[in-house]
Amino acid sequence: MSGFLANKTGVILGVANKRSIAWACARALADQGMRLAFTYAGERLEKSVRSLAEEIEGSLVLPCDVTKPAEIDAAFERIGEEFGYLDTVVHAVAFAPREELQGDFYHTTKEGYMLSHEVSAYSLTAVARRSLALMEGRQGSIVTLTYIGSERVVENYNVMGIAKAALEASVRYLAADLGPRGIRVNAISAGPIRTLSASGVQGFSEILDHIAKKSPLKRNITAEEVGSVCSFLAGPMSSGITGTTIYVDAGFHVMGI
Ligand code: 1JT
Protein backbone atom coordinates (compact mmCIF):
# COMPACT_ATOMS: atom_id res chain seq x y z
CA MET A 1 0.00 0.00 0.00
CA SER A 2 1.32 3.45 -0.86
CA GLY A 3 0.78 6.67 1.10
CA PHE A 4 3.04 8.60 3.45
CA LEU A 5 2.39 6.11 6.28
CA ALA A 6 3.13 2.94 4.30
CA ASN A 7 4.99 0.26 6.30
CA LYS A 8 4.09 2.06 9.52
CA THR A 9 1.93 0.67 12.32
CA GLY A 10 -0.31 2.37 14.85
CA VAL A 11 -2.67 1.70 17.71
CA ILE A 12 -5.89 3.64 18.27
CA LEU A 13 -7.45 3.71 21.74
CA GLY A 14 -10.97 5.07 22.06
CA VAL A 15 -13.09 4.06 19.08
CA ALA A 16 -16.72 3.61 20.19
CA ASN A 17 -18.67 3.88 16.94
CA LYS A 18 -18.50 5.31 13.42
CA ARG A 19 -18.95 8.86 14.71
CA SER A 20 -15.95 8.64 17.05
CA ILE A 21 -13.11 11.09 16.45
CA ALA A 22 -10.85 8.07 17.00
CA TRP A 23 -12.50 6.34 14.04
CA ALA A 24 -11.90 9.36 11.78
CA CYS A 25 -8.24 9.28 12.89
CA ALA A 26 -8.06 5.57 12.10
CA ARG A 27 -9.51 6.12 8.61
CA ALA A 28 -7.06 8.93 7.89
CA LEU A 29 -4.08 6.83 9.02
CA ALA A 30 -5.22 3.73 7.13
CA ASP A 31 -5.84 5.83 4.00
CA GLN A 32 -2.12 6.68 4.06
CA GLY A 33 -1.15 3.03 4.35
CA MET A 34 -0.73 2.54 8.11
CA ARG A 35 -1.48 -0.88 9.59
CA LEU A 36 -3.67 -0.51 12.69
CA ALA A 37 -4.56 -2.06 16.01
CA PHE A 38 -7.75 -0.98 17.78
CA THR A 39 -8.44 -1.28 21.47
CA TYR A 40 -11.78 -1.28 23.27
CA ALA A 41 -12.64 -0.85 26.94
CA GLY A 42 -15.10 -3.46 28.14
CA GLU A 43 -17.17 -6.08 26.31
CA ARG A 44 -19.96 -3.58 25.65
CA LEU A 45 -17.82 -1.93 22.94
CA GLU A 46 -16.18 -5.03 21.48
CA LYS A 47 -18.77 -5.76 18.76
CA SER A 48 -18.90 -2.19 17.50
CA VAL A 49 -15.10 -1.86 17.35
CA ARG A 50 -14.72 -5.27 15.66
CA SER A 51 -17.23 -4.47 12.95
CA LEU A 52 -15.55 -1.12 12.20
CA ALA A 53 -12.07 -2.68 12.23
CA GLU A 54 -13.27 -5.16 9.59
CA GLU A 55 -13.38 -2.23 7.16
CA ILE A 56 -9.62 -1.84 7.57
CA GLU A 57 -7.57 -4.62 6.10
CA GLY A 58 -5.05 -6.39 8.33
CA SER A 59 -6.18 -4.66 11.50
CA LEU A 60 -6.01 -6.08 14.99
CA VAL A 61 -8.61 -5.68 17.77
CA LEU A 62 -7.61 -5.97 21.43
CA PRO A 63 -9.19 -5.33 24.82
CA CYS A 64 -7.60 -2.48 26.78
CA ASP A 65 -9.36 -0.83 29.71
CA VAL A 66 -6.78 1.83 30.62
CA THR A 67 -7.66 1.56 34.32
CA LYS A 68 -6.30 -2.03 34.28
CA PRO A 69 -2.48 -2.10 34.05
CA ALA A 70 -2.49 -5.81 33.13
CA GLU A 71 -4.75 -5.12 30.12
CA ILE A 72 -2.44 -2.37 28.86
CA ASP A 73 0.54 -4.71 29.29
CA ALA A 74 -1.25 -7.50 27.41
CA ALA A 75 -2.39 -5.21 24.58
CA PHE A 76 1.12 -3.89 23.93
CA GLU A 77 2.59 -7.37 24.19
CA ARG A 78 0.17 -8.56 21.47
CA ILE A 79 0.96 -5.55 19.30
CA GLY A 80 4.66 -6.40 19.64
CA GLU A 81 4.00 -10.02 18.65
CA GLU A 82 1.78 -9.13 15.68
CA PHE A 83 3.49 -5.99 14.34
CA GLY A 84 7.01 -6.24 15.75
CA TYR A 85 7.24 -2.46 16.08
CA LEU A 86 5.02 0.59 16.58
CA ASP A 87 5.12 4.05 15.01
CA THR A 88 1.99 5.78 16.24
CA VAL A 89 -0.30 5.83 19.27
CA VAL A 90 -3.61 7.69 19.05
CA HIS A 91 -4.98 8.23 22.55
CA ALA A 92 -8.65 9.20 22.23
CA VAL A 93 -9.85 8.10 25.64
CA ALA A 94 -11.77 10.14 28.19
CA PHE A 95 -14.37 9.53 30.85
CA ALA A 96 -16.19 11.34 33.62
CA PRO A 97 -19.42 10.33 35.34
CA ARG A 98 -22.33 12.10 33.60
CA GLU A 99 -23.36 13.90 36.82
CA GLU A 100 -19.97 15.60 36.91
CA LEU A 101 -20.57 17.29 33.53
CA GLN A 102 -23.41 19.47 34.73
CA GLY A 103 -24.04 22.08 37.39
CA ASP A 104 -21.43 23.82 39.47
CA PHE A 105 -17.83 22.60 39.32
CA TYR A 106 -17.46 22.89 43.10
CA HIS A 107 -19.80 19.91 43.52
CA THR A 108 -17.20 17.61 41.90
CA THR A 109 -16.85 14.47 44.01
CA LYS A 110 -13.50 12.95 44.92
CA GLU A 111 -14.50 9.76 43.08
CA GLY A 112 -15.48 11.66 39.92
CA TYR A 113 -12.31 13.71 40.08
CA MET A 114 -10.04 10.68 40.51
CA LEU A 115 -11.77 8.55 37.87
CA SER A 116 -11.80 11.31 35.24
CA HIS A 117 -8.10 11.93 35.79
CA GLU A 118 -7.21 8.24 35.79
CA VAL A 119 -8.98 7.52 32.50
CA SER A 120 -8.51 10.84 30.69
CA ALA A 121 -5.07 12.06 31.83
CA TYR A 122 -2.94 9.41 33.55
CA SER A 123 -3.69 6.84 30.83
CA LEU A 124 -1.60 8.79 28.31
CA THR A 125 1.51 8.29 30.43
CA ALA A 126 0.61 4.68 31.20
CA VAL A 127 0.26 3.93 27.49
CA ALA A 128 3.30 5.97 26.42
CA ARG A 129 5.51 3.98 28.82
CA ARG A 130 4.40 0.65 27.33
CA SER A 131 4.91 1.88 23.77
CA LEU A 132 8.57 2.91 24.21
CA ALA A 133 10.21 -0.44 23.51
CA LEU A 134 8.15 -0.90 20.34
CA MET A 135 8.84 2.65 19.12
CA GLU A 136 12.59 2.59 19.68
CA GLY A 137 14.51 4.03 16.72
CA ARG A 138 11.40 4.61 14.60
CA GLN A 139 10.65 8.35 14.89
CA GLY A 140 7.40 7.51 16.66
CA SER A 141 4.51 9.86 17.25
CA ILE A 142 1.97 9.93 20.08
CA VAL A 143 -1.21 11.94 19.53
CA THR A 144 -3.93 12.69 22.07
CA LEU A 145 -7.17 14.68 21.99
CA THR A 146 -8.08 17.63 24.14
CA TYR A 147 -10.65 20.40 24.36
CA ILE A 148 -10.53 24.15 25.05
CA GLY A 149 -12.34 23.52 28.36
CA SER A 150 -8.85 22.80 29.74
CA GLU A 151 -7.76 26.44 29.43
CA ARG A 152 -11.00 28.44 29.57
CA VAL A 153 -14.12 27.95 31.61
CA VAL A 154 -16.72 26.13 29.51
CA GLU A 155 -19.98 25.75 31.41
CA ASN A 156 -20.65 22.12 32.38
CA TYR A 157 -17.30 20.78 31.16
CA ASN A 158 -16.20 21.00 34.79
CA VAL A 159 -13.84 18.26 35.99
CA MET A 160 -13.06 17.21 32.40
CA GLY A 161 -11.44 20.63 31.98
CA ILE A 162 -9.13 19.93 34.91
CA ALA A 163 -8.34 16.45 33.55
CA LYS A 164 -7.61 17.87 30.06
CA ALA A 165 -5.29 20.48 31.62
CA ALA A 166 -3.40 17.60 33.26
CA LEU A 167 -3.38 15.76 29.93
CA GLU A 168 -1.91 18.77 28.09
CA ALA A 169 0.78 19.20 30.76
CA SER A 170 1.52 15.47 30.42
CA VAL A 171 2.03 16.01 26.67
CA ARG A 172 4.75 18.58 27.44
CA TYR A 173 6.54 16.43 30.04
CA LEU A 174 6.34 13.32 27.85
CA ALA A 175 7.62 15.30 24.87
CA ALA A 176 10.68 16.34 26.91
CA ASP A 177 11.27 12.77 28.16
CA LEU A 178 10.79 11.02 24.83
CA GLY A 179 12.24 13.59 22.44
CA PRO A 180 15.79 12.24 22.91
CA ARG A 181 14.48 8.86 21.69
CA GLY A 182 13.00 10.49 18.59
CA ILE A 183 9.42 10.10 19.84
CA ARG A 184 7.12 13.11 19.48
CA VAL A 185 4.06 13.79 21.64
CA ASN A 186 1.31 16.24 20.68
CA ALA A 187 -2.34 17.01 21.33
CA ILE A 188 -5.15 18.06 19.01
CA SER A 189 -7.63 20.46 20.57
CA ALA A 190 -10.81 19.68 18.65
CA GLY A 191 -13.89 21.85 18.41
CA PRO A 192 -17.16 20.26 19.56
CA ILE A 193 -18.42 17.33 17.43
CA ARG A 194 -21.56 15.23 17.87
CA THR A 195 -20.13 11.94 19.11
CA LEU A 196 -21.22 9.35 21.66
CA SER A 197 -19.28 11.27 24.34
CA ALA A 198 -21.14 14.47 23.47
CA SER A 199 -24.56 12.78 23.43
CA GLY A 200 -26.49 13.55 26.55
CA VAL A 201 -24.30 16.56 27.33
CA GLN A 202 -26.74 19.27 28.39
CA GLY A 203 -26.84 22.18 25.97
CA PHE A 204 -24.52 20.58 23.38
CA SER A 205 -26.60 21.88 20.44
CA GLU A 206 -26.23 25.42 21.80
CA ILE A 207 -22.45 24.94 21.96
CA LEU A 208 -22.40 23.86 18.29
CA ASP A 209 -24.58 26.86 17.33
CA HIS A 210 -22.28 29.20 19.23
CA ILE A 211 -19.18 27.94 17.35
CA ALA A 212 -20.99 28.21 13.99
CA LYS A 213 -21.85 31.82 14.81
CA LYS A 214 -18.63 33.03 16.45
CA SER A 215 -15.68 31.07 15.01
CA PRO A 216 -13.56 32.64 12.24
CA LEU A 217 -14.70 29.96 9.76
CA LYS A 218 -18.35 30.39 10.85
CA ARG A 219 -18.94 26.67 11.03
CA ASN A 220 -18.26 23.59 13.10
CA ILE A 221 -15.47 21.15 12.31
CA THR A 222 -15.77 17.54 11.22
CA ALA A 223 -14.17 14.44 12.67
CA GLU A 224 -12.47 13.99 9.26
CA GLU A 225 -10.71 17.33 9.75
CA VAL A 226 -9.33 16.04 13.05
CA GLY A 227 -8.30 12.81 11.29
CA SER A 228 -6.28 14.76 8.71
CA VAL A 229 -4.31 16.57 11.39
CA CYS A 230 -3.79 13.26 13.18
CA SER A 231 -2.21 11.77 10.04
CA PHE A 232 -0.06 14.92 9.70
CA LEU A 233 1.12 14.56 13.32
CA ALA A 234 1.79 10.85 12.81
CA GLY A 235 3.82 11.34 9.66
CA PRO A 236 7.10 12.87 8.52
CA MET A 237 5.61 16.27 7.60
CA SER A 238 5.42 17.15 11.33
CA SER A 239 8.94 15.89 12.21
CA GLY A 240 9.81 19.21 13.90
CA ILE A 241 6.70 19.42 16.09
CA THR A 242 6.51 18.06 19.63
CA GLY A 243 4.99 18.98 23.01
CA THR A 244 2.33 21.17 21.50
CA THR A 245 -1.42 21.47 21.06
CA ILE A 246 -2.77 22.03 17.56
CA TYR A 247 -6.28 23.50 17.35
CA VAL A 248 -8.76 22.02 14.90
CA ASP A 249 -11.58 24.31 15.97
CA ALA A 250 -12.46 26.53 12.98
CA GLY A 251 -10.24 29.15 14.67
CA PHE A 252 -12.56 29.59 17.66
CA HIS A 253 -9.73 29.77 20.23
CA VAL A 254 -8.35 33.06 18.83
CA MET A 255 -11.54 34.99 19.52
CA GLY A 256 -11.97 37.36 22.45
CA ILE A 257 -15.46 38.72 22.30
C1 1JT B 1 -15.88 13.46 27.74
C2 1JT B 1 -17.21 13.72 27.40
C3 1JT B 1 -14.86 14.21 27.19
C4 1JT B 1 -17.50 14.71 26.51
C5 1JT B 1 -16.48 15.47 25.96
C6 1JT B 1 -15.16 15.23 26.30
N7 1JT B 1 -14.39 16.10 25.62
C8 1JT B 1 -15.20 16.89 24.88
N9 1JT B 1 -16.46 16.51 25.09
C10 1JT B 1 -17.63 17.12 24.48
C11 1JT B 1 -18.12 18.24 25.39
C12 1JT B 1 -18.68 17.93 26.61
C13 1JT B 1 -19.12 18.92 27.47
C14 1JT B 1 -19.01 20.23 27.09
C15 1JT B 1 -18.47 20.53 25.87
C16 1JT B 1 -18.02 19.53 25.02
C17 1JT B 1 -18.35 12.94 27.98
C18 1JT B 1 -17.90 11.66 28.65
C19 1JT B 1 -16.70 11.91 29.49
C20 1JT B 1 -15.53 12.37 28.67
O21 1JT B 1 -19.40 21.17 28.02
C22 1JT B 1 -20.26 22.15 27.68
C23 1JT B 1 -19.70 18.59 28.80
204: domain CATH number is 3.40.50.720
Residue 176 placed within a domain: yes
4 Cα–ligand 1 center, Å:
32
CB 198 less than 6 A from any atom of ligand 1? yes
Model confidence over 8-57: pLDDT tens digits? Answer: 999 999 999 999 999 999 999 999 999 999 999 999 999 999 999 999 99
pLDDT(170) > 80: yes
Q: 85 catalytic, yes or no?
A: no
pLDDT confidence band for 204 (50 / 70 / 90) = very high
225 contacts 248 by C-beta, under 8 angstroms:
yes
Model confidence over 101-149: pLDDT tens digits? Answer: 999 999 999 999 999 999 999 999 999 999 999 999 999 999 999 999 9
**What pLDDT shows up at residue 202?**
87
> For ligand 1, atom 23, which residue shows the shortest CA distance?
157
pLDDT confidence band for 100 (50 / 70 / 90) = very high
> For ligand 1, atom 10, which residue shows the shortest CA distance?
198
DSSP of 19-62, one letter per residue? T-HHHHHHHHHHHTT-EEEEEESSHHHHHHHHHHHTTSTT-EEE
170 Cα–ligand 1 center, Å:
19
Among the listed residues 85, 122, 157, 173, the single catalytic one is 157
Residue 257 placed within a domain: no
> What's the number of CA atoms in the CB half-sphere (13 Å) around residue 42?
5
Mean pLDDT of the chain: 97
Residue 48 placed within a domain: yes
40 Cα–ligand 1 center, Å:
19
What is the residue range of 26's domain?
A: 9-250
Residue 172 placed within a domain: yes
Which atom of ligand 1 is nearest to 160's Cα? 3
Model confidence over 223-238: pLDDT tens digits? Answer: 999 999 999 999 999 9
Residue 256 placed within a domain: no
5 Cα–ligand 1 center, Å:
30
Q: List, in sequence order, the alpha helices (H) in the chain.
A: 21-31, 43-53, 69-83, 110-117, 123-135, 159-178, 204-214, 223-234
pLDDT(200) > 90: no
Q: How many domains does the chain have?
A: 1
Share of the chain above pLDDT 70, in %: 100
CB 155 less than 6 A from any atom of ligand 1? yes
Our mutation pick for probing the ligand 1 site, out of 194, 197, 205, counting the most ligand atoms within 8 A of Cβ, is 197
pLDDT(84) > 90: yes
CB 154 less than 6 A from any atom of ligand 1? yes
Contacts of residue 250, Cβ cutoff 8 Å, sequence gap at least 6: 191, 211, 215, 216, 217, 218, 219, 220, 221
Residue 229 placed within a domain: yes
**What pLDDT shows up at residue 182?**
98
> For ligand 1, atom 11, which residue shows the shortest CA distance?
198
Share of the chain above pLDDT 90, in %: 98
pLDDT(155) > 90: yes
199 Cα–ligand 1 center, Å:
9
Q: 173 catalytic, yes or no?
A: no
Residue 1 placed within a domain: no
Residue 133 placed within a domain: yes
